[in-house]
Amino acid sequence: MEKQLTPGMAVHCSDGEAGRLEKIVGEPDERTPAYLVVQRGRPIRRRHIVVPVSLVRDVAPDRILLDTTLQALETFPDFEVTVAQRADPADLPAAPLHPLFWPAYRDQAAIIFRARSVPETSREIRRGMPVYDNAGAQVGQVAGLLVDDETRQASHLVLNRKGPRAADPRLVPVDLVDYVVRDDIYLRIGQDQVVGLTVYQTQQPETA
């Protein structure tokens, strides 16, 4: 059974609500979601916590249930962390003689950069990411990702189409994704083929 992961969904631990799903991070070669990034807390002290998909217990239409507690979740790493690294003394200018300039010199000696807590080869899938056909024309935006409940394998992107011919969302098999560059997703097919893809229905029709 396939279930949809949509950025913005509520995320719950076993003992309460943890936050909102901010983005999905996956390995492009395996075409599988590997991590969820959970936005937690108020703006001033907001965190972006990385959670392995192996901790997803269930996915309901409006929420994701994690197999962990709120206290344990706080120990998980942030998606990006600030790292300070000492610069090579050989690359620095001579130290100033006047003490007034020492603080600025110390700032040069420390290199501050942002590092991810996930593999560098991984790619982010966020709601609203533009999707392009094989000719480079934008055909829509990502609305969500369908994941098989048993295998945890991604099966389809949910595509909100763009343009005058846009109507219902379409299901794009992940095998039709050619590559992902920064914030853009490129497909192997053209716009006419996109129109012919299966229409996504949030509720399956009842069977007699």
Q: How many Å apart are CA 194 and CA 56, to the nearest integer?
A: 31
Whether residue 171 lies inside any domain: the answer is yes
pLDDT band with cut points at 50, 70 and 90 for residue 203: low
Q: Are residues 85 and 74 in the same domain?
A: no
pLDDT per residue over 39-96, tens digit each?
998 888 889 999 988 888 899 988 999 999 999 999 898 887 655 555 555 555 554 4
What local confidence, expressed as pLDDT, does residue 121 receive?
63
Q: Are residues 6 and 65 in the same domain?
A: yes
Residue 201 forms part of a structural domain:
no
Position 180 scores a pLDDT of: 83
**66 shares a domain with 24:** yes
- pTM for the whole thing? 0.64
| 8 and 74 together in one domain | yes
Quick check: is 158 in a domain?
yes
> Would you list the DSSP string of 135-166?
TS-EEEEEEEEEEETTT--EEEEEEEE-STT-
Residues 20 and 44 in one domain: yes
Answer yes or no: do 68 and 98 share one domain. Answer: no
Task: Residue 31: name the closest of 117, 148, 141 by CA.
Answer: 148
Assess if residue 120 is contained within a domain.
Answer: no
140 and 176, same domain (yes or no): yes
Report how far residue 5's alpha carbon sits from residue 139's, in angstroms, rounded to the nearest whole number.
21
CA nearest neighbour of 24 among 57, 44, 48, 40: 48
Q: Flag whether 162 is in a domain.
A: yes
- Residue 203 located in a structural domain: no
Q: pLDDT for 106-147, tens place per residue?
A: 445 444 455 555 566 667 788 889 999 999 999 999 988 888
Residue 23: give the domain boundaries. Answer: 2-78
Read off the CATH number of the domain in which 184 is found.
Answer: 2.30.30.240
- Asked, for residue 37, whether it belongs to a domain, the answer is yes
Q: Is residue 45 part of a domain?
A: yes
Number of domains in the chain: 3
Same domain? 91 vs 74 = no
Q: Does residue 10 sit in the same domain as residue 74?
A: yes
